[in-house]
């Protein structure tokens, strides 16, 4: 899979998650910034409830679900996209 395909898959998963957790009237932000060294920084942010700091790393595990949420997914999205930035010489934040 080429970097373009990985990027599309990664953004699709992150945006899908953002749409599912953002309440009606909320906001989703997709931002791309070029760093001075030429690295592109992509950010997906939303006004959903967020993830408790102690659960933040767990969301990248296969089949992970956040307790108390009304998520409908299988818990695969973030686990699938987490390796993508690394293969493009980047890291998820």
> How far apart are the C-alpha atoms of 76 and 82, rounded to whole Å?
10
Residue by residue, pLDDT tens for the chain (93 residues) are 457 887 888 888 889 888 988 999 999 999 999 999 888 888 999 998 887 888 777 777 776 666 655 566 666 667 666 665 555 555 455
Q: Residue 8: its pLDDT value, please? A: 86
Q: Side-chain half-sphere of 80: how many Cα atoms within 13 Å? A: 18
pLDDT for 74 equals 65
Residues with Cβ < 8 Å from 88, sequence gap 6 or more?
3, 6, 7
Q: pTM for the whole thing?
A: 0.69
In CATH terms, 3-87 corresponds, of 1.10.150.120, 2.40.110.10, 3.30.565.10, 3.60.21.10, to: 3.30.565.10
What is residue 1's predicted lDDT score, i.e. its pLDDT?
45
pLDDT of res. 51: 78
Look-up of token digits 């990027």? 7
Rounded distance between C-alpha atoms, residue 79 and residue 83, angstroms? 8
Dist CA 88 CA 33 (whole Å): 16
């Amino acid at each position: 899979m080429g970097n373009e395909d990985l990027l599309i898959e990664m953004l699709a998963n992150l945006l899908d998650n953002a749409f599912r957790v953002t309440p009606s009237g909320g906001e989703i932000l997709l931002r791309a910034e070029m760093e001075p060294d030429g690295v592109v920084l992509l950010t997906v942010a939303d006004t959903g409830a967020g993830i408790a700091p102690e659960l933040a790393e767990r969301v990248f595990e296969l089949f992970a679900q956040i307790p108390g949420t009304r998520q409908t997914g299988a818990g695969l999205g973030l686990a699938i996209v987490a390796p993508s930035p690394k293969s493009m010489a980047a890291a998820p934040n």
